[in-house]
Amino acid sequence: MKLDLSEFAKPCACGREHAISVKEIILEAGALRRIPALLEQYGYRQPVVLCDENTLEAAGRAVRGLLPESGLIVLNPENLHANEHGVTMAEEGLAACPAPDVLLAVGSGTVHDITRYIAHKRGLPFVSVPTAASVDGFVSTVAAMTWHGCKKTFPAVAPSLVVADTDVFSRAPQRLNASGFSDLLGKYTALADWKIARAVTGEYLCDRVCALEYDALRIVCAQPEAIRAGGAEACEQLMYALLLSGLAMQMVGNSRPASGAEHHMSHLWEMEAINGRVDYYHGEKVSVGLVLASGVYHRAAEEIRKGAFTLREGMDIETALLEKSFPDKAMLAEILDENDPNPLAGVTPDAIRRALPDILRAVDEIPSPQELTDLLTRAGAVKSLAEIGLPDAMLAPAARLSPYVRARLTFMRLLKLFDFARDIYSL
């Protein structure tokens, strides 16, 4: 399967030009064998393969066999994360290789984020070789990294080519497929958050990009059991859906279509400010955030429909709460900087009241927590705080603090202006 990328860059009714920087995506069984010809076609002569010890066995060794003159960097997978330590290890490996003109990321989310960050820093192109259908960030233009303990999004580059071999990623552990399923399911709250922000503030939104994300959701929600079983066809459909989501982000130039309150909770837990180590996959944390956010959003919609609520006349950053929750001064400074300007600045009670019908429609499009839990169970995915080693009491602090992880207006952030917010956070 070769995706026709020209379709994604066509003129759009939203009035903006959607630039696609990926030149080619190959998604098929045996795709690895096409790598030498593709590199030659695009003029890449000095490749360096970057993987970890696990993905070396999954595909790295095979890629190196096809490119015997290439450099090779193999990272230790123990406690490997997309952070300053992972980047340092990769940079040290790169220093021992001949100067490359292209990097090949052979792995999943962590290997890709490290590679795209280094590629951007060095002005190099990179090629994506996914070894598992576990995240939707393969074609992302940014690198989501935990830098000195703080979750940040860094400028990076999208791959020039994606070579996704079904024979490789369909053999990945079931847990990785479930993580990819979970990451995609998070689009339900992400898209609702985007629509709510448009309704309240007039933020730009592209209906065509939203449609791409809903297409990805339809693909995976139609076959959770097949994805859990891990057959080649189901895994290929999952990878296709993940790539669609990634292209949707590339079309708008940021993660808005794919990341909302559910991702902000995941990022908060990764920062380890209010919790200990949560050593679980990205998608696993996202699915827990999704179920929790869905519960908060639907309870909020119930309160709104009752009509007996009041709205604050604006709200400053909760500095005292942040100082208490983020005792590390460097991390606190990053959080405060991220929230300047305040996404709630200029949001008036009148604007919220005018937007209430749209807010309720957006929330109604999110499956209930029980419906999401059922889908996640059928796919063999994580769905509760306990499954990622966190107590149920984590809901309230996560709901209150996670909106500060990103300067992005979500319904979770907007709820701070409703008088019933603290009550529904605690349920």
Q: Name the token pair of 191.
A: 């898209």
Q: Are residues 30 and 138 in the same domain?
A: yes
Q: Are residues 166 and 185 in the same domain?
A: no
Q: What angle do CA 162, 159, 101 make, to 5 degrees?
A: 110
- Contact residues for 184 (Cβ-Cβ < 8 A; gap 6+): 136, 216, 217, 220, 238, 241, 242, 245
CATH code at 263? 1.20.1090.10
Q: Are residues 125 and 196 in the same domain?
A: no
Q: Are residues 148 and 284 in the same domain?
A: no
- Contact predicate 190/257, CB 8 Å: yes
Q: Are residues 281 and 362 in the same domain?
A: yes
Which three-class secondary structure state does DSSP give residue 146?
A: strand
Q: Are residues 151 and 193 in the same domain?
A: no
CATH code at 17? 3.40.50.1970
Q: Which amino acid is at 359?
A: I
Please name the helix (run of DSSP H) or strand (run of DSSP E) that holds residue 49, with its range, or none.
strand 47-52
- Contact residues for 332 (Cβ-Cβ < 8 A; gap 6+): 322, 323, 326
Which three-class secondary structure state does DSSP give residue 1?
A: coil
Domain boundary, last residue among 110, 142, 172: 172
Instruction: Please report the pLDDT score of residue 62 as a whole number.
Output: 98
How many independent structural domains does the chain possess?
A: 2
Domain boundary, last residue among 152, 172, 192: 172
Instruction: Give the CA distances from residue 61 to residues 75, 127, 165, in Å, rounded to whole numbers and listed in that order.
Output: 13, 16, 14
**Which residues constitute the domain of residue 127?**
5-172
Instruction: Please report the pLDDT score of residue 143 as a whole number.
Output: 87
Q: What angle do CA 278, 281, 284 make, to 5 degrees?
A: 90
Exposure string of 132-163, with b = 16+ CB inside 10 Å and e = fewer, is bbbbbbbbbbbbbbbbebbbbbbebbbbbbbb
Q: Are residues 201 and 53 in the same domain?
A: no
Tell the residue number behind the tokens 């009670």, with chain if given.
349
Q: Name the token pair of 378.
A: 């059928």
Distance CA 18, CA 367 (A): 30
Q: Are residues 102 and 242 in the same domain?
A: no
- Contact residues for 138 (Cβ-Cβ < 8 A; gap 6+): 112, 128, 130, 159, 162, 164, 242, 243, 246
- Contact predicate 36/56, CB 8 Å: no
Instruction: Please report the pLDDT score of residue 379 as a whole number.
Output: 98
Domain boundary, last residue among 145, 172, 199: 172
Neighbours of 223 (CB within 10 A): 18
**Nearest-CA neighbor of 42 among 57, 17, 23, 29?**
23
Q: Are residues 161 and 201 in the same domain?
A: no
10-residue stretch averages of pLDDT, the chain, 427 residues long: 81 93 96 98 98 98 97 95 95 95 97 96 97 95 88 90 98 97 98 98 98 97 96 96 95 94 96 93 97 97 96 93 94 95 96 98 98 98 97 94 96 96 77
Q: Name the token pair of 196.
A: 């709510």
Q: Are residues 327 and 420 in the same domain?
A: yes
Distance CA 61, CA 69 (A): 13
Distance CA 105, CA 112 (A): 6
Instruction: Please report the pLDDT score of residue 179 as a whole number.
Output: 98
Q: Are residues 291 and 158 in the same domain?
A: no
Instruction: Please report the pLDDT score of residue 2 as a whole number.
Output: 66
- Contact predicate 389/278, CB 8 Å: yes
Which three-class secondary structure state does DSSP give residue 102?
A: strand
Q: Are residues 339 and 395 in the same domain?
A: yes
